[in-house]
Structure 1
Amino acid sequence: MSIYEVAYNLEKAIRQSEEFQRLKKMYEEIQHDETSSRMFNNFRNIQMRLHQKQMTGEEILPEEIEQAQKVAALVQQHDKIAQLMELEQRMSFLIAELNKIVLKPLEELYNEFE
C-alpha cells in the first residue's frame, strides 16, 4: 500500500469518526439557523482576518483585539456555538495527535544523532 493510499484511508477514517460526525452535525445545525449562522460566521471571519494579519506581520490594532474579544464572549454564551467550538477543539486535538504519529519517524531520525 502506498503512502498516499494510507493517507486517503486516514482521511476516510476521520470523516467516519464519531468526533467528525458530531462536529459536522453541530455545524449543520448552526448553519440552518440564520441567527446562529450569522453570529458564527462573523466570529470566524474576525478570527481569520486577525490570523492572516498575524501571519503577514501586520499590526493588530487594539480595537480589533477588543472587537474579537467581545464577539468571542458573545459567541461563547450561545449554547450551540459553544458546543461547536468544543467539538472543534476535540477535533483539533485528534488531528494534532495524528500529526505526532505521522511525524514520529522524522523525530526519531533527528533525535538519533543528537
Structure 2
Amino acid sequence: MVNVYDQANALESALRKSDEFNNMKDLYNKVNENPESKQLFDEFRNVQVELQQKQMMGEEVLEEDIERAQTSAEAIEKDDNIKSLMEAEQKMSELIQDLNRVIMKPIEELYGINNK
C-alpha cells in the first residue's frame, strides 16, 4: 500500500530542489538585500494583508485603501528586483496549479469530471 504522505513529502523535497523554487529564492534574497526594494516589497505586502483582513472581517474597504494599494502596486512594478520576483512567483504558481491538476485527476476520473 502506498503512503500518500510519504509521496507528498517527496514532492515537497522535489519542489525545494526545483529550478522554479530556487530562482524564486534567489530573487527574494535580491529584494531583501536591496534596502529600497525591501521597503517597497514590505509596504506592498502590508497593504495586501490589511485589505485581506478587512475583507475577511466584513469591514468596508475604503477608496483610500484601494488608492493606497494601487499606488503600492505601481511602485513595485517599477522596481526590477520585485518585478523579477513576481514573475518567478507566477511561474511557481503555474507549476503548483499543474501539480494540483495531476493530483486531482483520480477524483475527476471517478466522478466523470471533464469526460463530457
Scaled by the length of structure 2, the TM-score of the pair is 0.88
| Structural RMSD (CA) | 1.6
- Residues of 2 paired with 1:51 and 1:32: CA distance? 27
**May I ask how many residue pairs the two structures share in their alignment?**
113
The match for 2:18 is 17
The match for 1:97 is 98
- The code of the aligned residue for 2:38 comes to S
Residue 112 of structure 2 aligns to a residue in which SS? helix
Q: 1:96 to 1:32 in 2, by over 3 A?
A: same
- Residues of 1 paired with 2:87 and 2:12: CA distance? 21
Gaps of 5+ in 2: none
Matching of residues 63-102 of structure 1 within 5 Å: 63-102=64-103
The match for 2:63 is 62
Gaps of 5+ in 1: none
Shift >6 Å, 4+ stretches: none
Scaled by the length of structure 1, the TM-score of the pair is 0.90
Q: 1:9 to 1:52 in 2, by over 3 A?
A: same
- The code of the aligned residue for 2:28 comes to Y
The structure that is helix-richer by fraction is 1
* Residue 99 of structure 1, CA deviation: 1.1
